Each structure stands twice: as structure tokens, then as C-alpha cells.
Structure 1
Amino acid sequence: MSRSPAHTVLVVLATALAAVVAALPPSGPAGGAGSNPATRTGPTPDRPTLAGGRAPGCATPLAPSRPVTGTPWAQQRYAPERLAPLATGAGVTVAVVDSGVDRAHPQLAGRVLTGDDLLDPGGDGTRDCAGHGTGVASIIAAAPRPGVAFRGLAPDARILPVRVSEQQVVDGRESGRTVSAGDFARAIRWAVDRGADVLNLSVVLYADDPAVRAAIAHAVDRDVVVVAAAGNLHENGNPRPFPAAYDGVLGVGAIGADGVRSPFSQTGPYVDLVAPGGDVLMAAPRQGHLRAEGTSYAVPFVAGTAALLREYRPELNAAQVAQRIVASTDPAPGDRAGGAYGVGVLNPYRAITDVGGGAPGGLRPAAALADDRADPAVLARQARRATARHRALALAGISGALVATAVLLALVVPRGARRRWRPPGTAGT
């Protein structure tokens, strides 16, 4: 069956996005059963716009969602409250090239910049007809709210929305508009040229498009941390996903609450690490929360961590930030062979606090993340062992000095006492 260029780009969202987004029950916990399955998608480019939005309304309004008070499993794992005293993403701009980001959600109010809309000229990227981009942005930057446990990893980061899709998957069928590969590339360039520090690409193309490849190279050259989804077609043969497969891009796979790779999460050399992507809680457009699954939703956990690092360690360039993120991962279960988990499971706290890794002043080539790169986990382990050796040697030196002092005192004190502490050869009084 022939497919239009737009569809080629956003097999993108239909696939990368994720499998099932379900509306939660009125005010139940994050684990409640949902009705209304749907999947999300999204990308965007360049004109100033009215925040009210003169662009046409959504063809298919999303079902309303209610706030969820329970703490989601990913948040229990990462405890953003431990990160907040160190960094909150303040001063960092994260571009979310997706389905738009609804700035009206209470947890995103004041955090969403005026962006662009490649689907509807005149839009500013803040209309989300799929819910995907809003959810992705909330995992990065949702603000704490009374009575709501859910919050983003980097709640003070600024979100720059670029709308490129409104595609959804309902009852197994793709529906909704998407942009062409060329416009997707334009969206990336627009975000980079408007000051993005981190680029969140929760979308997947299954073709190596020259324009997109060049746009990613442009982002890397401009010192932007680029994070992309590894794709959800593991059971369909793991077709090579782009932009995740490009050099200089952090490719992210998905795990569930048990820490095991989600069945849909693709495997291959393009997976640099994994993050929560199963049964993930996120903000829904306007208000409330939804749960969803997909590598799309694992990406913002990594992008949020990059935002924290860009605030906490501003002297690091993008390649060094990426290096710290992969070098500080937790061990993954089972055999890492075959690219199921990359180097391990994202650990934002260790990425910020671990000693070593990402030293300033080094080279920042995209090849730092190429397939033939040295294993960052091994490098980090070696750095930690070197630090431990230095400490051990220092302690040994101190211990030796103390022992020598004790021996000296043991010899000198008795003699001094016999002489009543007079120097040798001094006449007594």
C-alpha cells in the first residue's frame, strides 16, 4: 500500500508513541483500569502566534481526565524531591517536538513558551489534539501541586513546543495528520535556532531521511543534547529507528515497573539506555492525568535529567552531559547483549552527584555515542575504582604516619621522663 510522505514521517507517532493511553478513573490511583484506549504522537516550526490560538480546533476532542493523587512508580524510583535541592532545570530550555503542549494544564502553567505549529500555520505549538506532547512535557517539567504526587523531573525547565502531528491510534488504526520528513527536519532546526538546550524527540522515523539527518547534525553542532525514542516495534523485527540511530543522539528504550524491558521496546545498537516507559503517569491536556506506555514516554525522563545536568554543571557541553547520563546508569537485569538495555537504567541522581565523567574541556564529537565507542559504564566503573584507590592510598599514608608517631612517642616519652624532660648534656637543678 502506498504511503504519503507525511505518513512516512509519522509512522513516527503512531508507532513510536506508544501503545495505549488510557483515561484514568475519576480519582483513583495510578493503577486503575482505563477505558478509552488511544495512542499519541507529535512534531512543529516558526511564526509568532496568539496564545489564544486562531488555528482550527481539534477534530476529535480528547476524553476528559481527572487528577490522580497516587504516586506513580517511576516517581517512587526517581524521587524528584531528592533532586530538587541540587537542580530543578532552571534556566534550561527543552524543546518538545511532538503533538503540541497544552499550557493550560495547571502543572504546566508558566512553563510553556510560545512555540510553533507546522500543521496549522499561525499556531504557537500550545494546542494538543493528541495529548502526547502534553504528557511528554509534563514528565519533564510538571510543577508540584498540593494534593497531587505527580511532578516532573525538572519542574523549573522551560518547554519550547513544536507541533508536528496530531496522529493517534484508536482501535489499532492510525488517524490524524502528520508532517512530512522535510517539515520534521525544519521543526528540529527551528527549535535549535530558538535556543533549545535539550531536544526531546519522542517520535520515530523508519527511514534515514537526509534532511532529518542534517537537522540532527545541526543540533549536535550547536551543542544541543538530543534524546530520541528507540521505537515500539520489537515484535515486528526491530526496524532501524531514526533519529535514535544517528550519531550524537541518546537512544532510549523502555522498562516497566519491574525493571525489565517492555515487550514492545526495540533492541539494537541504537539503544544507549532505558528508562520508565510502561504504565507511565503524565498530565493530560487541560487537566487531570493519563497513563500510557511506549518508548516515547521513556525519552522525557532522560531529557529531564539532561536539563538538570545543564543547570547543575553548566560548564559541560552536550556530549559530556550525554556521557554522564550513560556512565551513571544502574545495572540492567539479565544479559545486556543485543542492545536490549544499552548500558543500563537511567539514574538521574547519580548522573548529577557521581564523581568523574563528563569532565569539561574534552572533545564533543558526535562519535562519542557511536556504536564503536568505549562502554561508558566501564569508564565510570574505572573512574570510581581509581577514586577508591586514591582514597585508600591516602588513608594508608595517614595510618602509616600515625603508627610512626606512636612508635616515636613510645621511645621518646620514657627517656624524657627519666631526664625530667631536660635536653641531653644539661646539668640538673
Structure 2
Amino acid sequence: MHRCVKDYRMVGTLVAATALALGSHSPTIPGNAYALVQLTPAALCVETVPLLQAGATSVAPSLRVFRLPAATARRLAPGLRARHALQTIELDRDLAAASVRDTQPDPLEAAEWWRSVIGIEGLTPPGPGKPVTVVDSGIDLQHPEFLNRPDTVALNPQEPAPLGGRHGTAVASLVGAPRNGVGIVGVYPNAVIQSWDTALGDGTVIDTSEVIRGITAAADDAPGVINLSLGGTERDDLIEQAIDAAYAKGSLVVAASGNDGDQGNPADYPADYPHVLTVGATDENNTVAPFSNRSPYVDLVAPGQNVTVATADDASWEAESGTSFSTPIVSGAAAWVWTARPQLDNTQLFEMMRRSATDVPPAGHDDASGYGMLDVAAALAYPAPVRDPFEPNDDVDFVQPDSGFFSGLGPLTTRARQGARLVARLDRLEDPVDAYRIWLPARKAVRVTAMSKANVALRVWGPGTVTVTEGQGPDLLGADSRDRAGRKQVVVKPAPTGRWAYVEVTLGGRRGLVASYSLSVSR
């Protein structure tokens, strides 16, 4: 629920490419095109009703996102912008499911080849527990794998005919096809499977707006695993915000790395966003498949070539290849581990799933396989790392109320609580910056101290800071960026009045991917 505020201020800007697409001099936009409009926090209470009267529908209330015809959005945009009410506007473009590789069907017995590879042979999976939400093209609930399957929940109408449901049914079968005497068995056969159909209608198009709705619905329901076997080569600010919001609410988002590794290997999203567990694909020889995208953001790999799945085409089974199918194996495995170890939070689970992976050639962490092959047995036994509180807190707007994106997490210190201490983690790629909001009391110095075995940098920024990525500037109150591990400290000098400030902790130097640190704030 968003509260109304009296002051209007611009807290975001238009996405440049999208602004061109909807501008007055833009190329012809199809008459049936739709746009997504995100309001600023301050404008939500005032502008919502006029948008709804203009034909808009709410996509994600917590993110202030609305969907309306593109022509209407273009007409309303100048007025919204003039009133400082418009944060983001973009076309509701189509995304692609990550599966693009066809494979000749194999006998069903061959579908089990991957089970021994990921370390589940001889293990007994738990009963229903943490849910896996498949945000995809829907599930054919009449397929033998899902007909009368318990703990299978449709979060919105599933429209499998004539083409919808093919991809989603295949993905969901690898998560949790039950032991029912037919077909295949998923990695976690007793999993609670939830499905959000993003391809309503004829089932051929996955819309940005439906992906946002699906992620939001899953996160609002309960913390769980969200499977995204889809992607595209363009960044999308609204999908990234939906993922960040889901992570802030305690969910783990798992995404396919993409299938263009041998076709130029472009960046792929949402796989390359922070706080996303990114999965590549391997073949029967435990070698990373040529099609699997290479990227520093790949966290681990799982079997994804010649994997037998349920198909909605004719209520049968077929072999498929793609990172679409390695991803649900990891999602199901993550839900298994989380159900068996319910005391974990999503930040711990994220780290355990990738750090417990079995290294595959070449040795060490690499762009093709990340930390290596999924190993469920090892993940079940892996020591839990410290929790990483306040995530996501990647910049000022994550921790500042009424900003463009606010994670909902409170300040580290306040007027009443003027000291704090915590332990947290950094990752050079997945979590490169930690930002915290602190209160600086009037006429009192404040000491901020970071301790780490790694080289971390510490900065404190003033209340006017827009982003901590500036490096230097008039709002910088103090920094300790000495190129060494150990103790870093900034003492903020007293000021006549109390004010809010922001603490920034980053990995210094160029060595090391991850680091833990302790942070304290005291007078």
C-alpha cells in the first residue's frame, strides 16, 4: 500500500530508447500496441484514477505500473511529465522463451540420465514445502503429469490451446513431474508448483506486463522460488524492479542464461541482472553446451541438452534442449533444499546453490559454467553462510522512502536508535554495492566502521545524494578507500541539525569475487 504525499518531485527519468519509441517523432506504432507507464511515488494517489479512466489497467500496484494502449500513453505522457508524475514509460514488448533448440525424441528411459549428474540418486525428496512459481506460457493441467496432481496451483487462467502451455508444461514437468507411473519424474516430485500464464490468448507471445504480474503475484503470495525460463537482449527497468521487489520480499529468482552462446553470445536479461541465480546448460558429457550463453553472471549449470519433458502438443513427452530446461532443474532443486532447511533465507540459499556446485572444466569459476554443476546432495550439506540483510540495497533509491524504487527495508539507525551493527556480504557481480540509510544526530559526530578480511571500500554520503555511484562529489562526507584489507573507518563531523545520510560499502581493488564484512555505526 502506498501512502499519498504532498510534495511532488522527479525521482526518475524516461528510459531513453523507449522514450524515442513513444515520442512524437517516433516511427509508426501498430494500432494494437500497448505501453507500460510507471508513476512516481508522489503522483500515485493523484494520477491513478485519471489513468484508469483513460483505459489503463494495473499491472503491479506495488511498483505503480499501468498498461494502456500505446497511442493513449503517448497522448498522456507530456502532461504526466510536466506534472513530474512520470517515472518510466516503455512499450509492452514481447519476450522470448529461452528454448530454441529442438532435439529428436529419445525413449523415456533416457530422460533420467541427468538425475545421477546432479547428485540426487539415492536421496529421498521431501514432501510439499517451498513453492516454485513457473512464470511462463502456462501449464496444460490435463496432461497426464498434471491431471489431478496435488499441490499444483494456477495463479491465473491457464490457456494451453492451441500453442500456449507447450513451453510452460515442459518447464514445470522438470520441476515436479510426480511419481505416478507415467512419463518422467521431476527433480522434486512433491514440489508445490504454481503457474502464471504470461502468454494469454493464442499462447504465442510472452508480454512484459504479464511477466511483471507473474513475478509480483509469486512474491506477494509467499517467499519461494520463481522460475524464469525466458529472456531477451534488451534491459527492462520494470522487470528488473519486479525482480528486486521479489528478492526484497524473500524469494529466490532463477533465470535461464540464454541460448545464443554460439550465435554472438549477446547479453541476456533477466539472466544478467543482479540478485538473479543464472543457469547455463550442459550436455550428456557434462560439458557446457555450445548454445548456452557465456557471461560473468552465470552462477551454475545443469543438464539442458536432450532432456525429456512433458509436451502439451499431444499430452505426451519429447526431448528438448535449451537453458529453459536446465533452469527448472535448479529451481526444483533449490525448493527441495529450502524445504529441507527452512531456516535459510533467500540470500543464504542463493549462495549455497552456486557455491556447492561441482566444478567442471575449465577449472575454477568461469563465464561458461559459473561455479560448476548443480549438486543437490552437496547443497543439502553445505554450511549456511551469514545472512545478507537489507537486500537489495544497491543504491540510494533502494533505501530511501518515496524514491523511484524502495525495497521497503528500514534505516540502519534512526533518531531513537543511534547505533547499529551487522554482518553482510558483497559480490562483485551479483551484489557489488551495499547502501544503508543512517541518521546523523545534531551536534554529534558519528563513527562508521567496516571490518573485512577482504579489501572493502567505505564511503558516507550526505542527504542530497542521488546515487552512490558518483565516486566523488559535494555530497561525499567521508571515505576510507585504502587499498588493503582490515579496518576501514569514516568519522562524520557534527552538524547543527540532524540529517539522513547514506553508507556505501563496495569491494575494493580488482581481486576476489565475494567478501563478508561487519559494519558498525556508533557515536
Residue 106 (1) aligns with residue 138 (2): no
Letter in 1 for 2:192: R
Decide whether the 8 Å contact of 1:130 with 1:166 is kept in 2. no
Equivalent AA in structure 2 for residue 269 of structure 1: P
**Matched position secondary structure for 2:153:** coil
- From the CA coordinates, give the structure whose radius of gyration is larger: 1
Q: What SS class does the counterpart of residue 214 from structure 1 fall into?
A: helix
Evaluate the alpha carbon distance shift between residue 69 and residue 375 of structure 1 in structure 2; reply closer, same or farther with a 3 A threshold.
Answer: same
2:361 is the counterpart of 1:326 = no
Aligned to 1:187: 214
- The residue number in structure 2 matching 1:427 is none
Measure, in 2, the Cα distance between the counterparts of 1:75 and 1:282: 13
Displacement of 1:210 in angstroms is 1.2
Higher relative contact order (CA 8 A, sep 6+): 1
The question of whether the paired residues in 1 share the 8 Å contact of 2:96 and 2:206 is answered with no
Contact 1:9 1:184 in 2 (8 A): no
In the TM superposition, residue 231 of structure 1 has moved relative to its aligned partner by: 0.4
Partner residue in 1 for 2:323: 295
Distance 1:259 1:310, change over 3 A: same
The answer to whether the aligner puts 1:78 opposite 2:113 as a matched pair is no
Q: How far apart, in 2, do the equivalents of 1:330 and 1:363 lie?
A: 27
- 1:294 shift after superposition: 0.5
Q: Any idea what the Cα deviations from partners look like across 1:33-74, whole Å, max 9, x if unmatched?
A: xxxxxxxxxxxxxxxxxxxxxxxxxxxxxxxxxxx3445211
Let me know the Cα RMSD of the aligned residues. Answer: 3.0
1:159 & 1:3 partners in 2: Cα distance? Answer: 38
Q: 1:320–1:364: 8 Å Cα contact kept in structure 2?
A: no
Aligned length: 316
User: Is contact 1:111–1:157 with CA below 8 Å preserved after alignment?
Assistant: yes
Unaligned runs of at least 5 residues, structure 1:
31-67, 117-122, 168-174, 380-429
Higher share of residues assigned strand: 2
Counterpart CA distance in 1 for 2:240 and 2:207 is: 14
**Measured at CA, do residues 288 and 189 of structure 1 come closer, stay the same or move farther in structure 2, by a change above 3 Å?**
same
In 1, distance between residues paired with 2:138 and 2:317? 16
- Compute the TM-score of the two structures, normalised by the length of structure 2: 0.55
Deviations 1:280-338 (A, max 9, x none): 11122263311100111110111011101111111110010111111110011125565
Q: Which residue of 1 aligns with 2:170?
A: 135
The one-letter code matched in structure 1 to 2:173 is S
The alpha-carbon distance between structure 1 residues 370 and 300, as it changes in their structure 2 partners (threshold 3 A), is: farther
> Retained in 2: the 8 A contact 1:228–1:299?
yes
For 1:150-189, what aligned pairs fall within 5 Å after superposition? 150-165=184-199, 177-189=204-216
Match of 1:365 in 2: 391
1:315 corresponds to? 343
Q: Does residue 1:17 correspond to 2:99, yes or no?
A: yes
Taking the aligned partners of 1:107 and 1:323, their CA distance within structure 2 comes to 32
Cα offset for 1:129? 2.5
Provide Cα deviations, 1:76-106, integer angstroms capped at 9, x if missing partner. 323645232xx43522211100111122233
- In structure 2, runs of 5+ residues without a counterpart are 1-26, 35-90, 395-425, 433-506, 517-523
Measured in 1, the distance between the counterparts of 2:321 and 2:200 equals 18
337 and 302 in structure 1: CA distance in 2 versus 1, 3 angstrom threshold: closer
TM-score scaled by structure 1? 0.66
Please give the alpha-carbon distance, in whole angstroms, between the structure 2 residues aligned to 1:192 and 1:199. Answer: 8
Which one-letter code corresponds to 1:264 in the other structure?
A: F
Q: Tell me if the contact between 2:134 and 2:196 (Cα under 8 Å) persists in the aligned partners.
A: yes
Structure-1 residue corresponding to 2:79: none
Q: Which of the two has greater helix per residue?
A: 1
Partners of 2:369 and 2:251 in 1: CA distance: 24
What secondary structure sits across from 1:211 in the alignment? Answer: helix
Letter in 1 for 2:96: V
Matched with 2:302 is 275
Matches within 5 A, 1:113-262: 113-116=153-156, 123-124=157-158, 129-146=164-181, 150-165=184-199, 177-195=204-222, 197-262=224-289
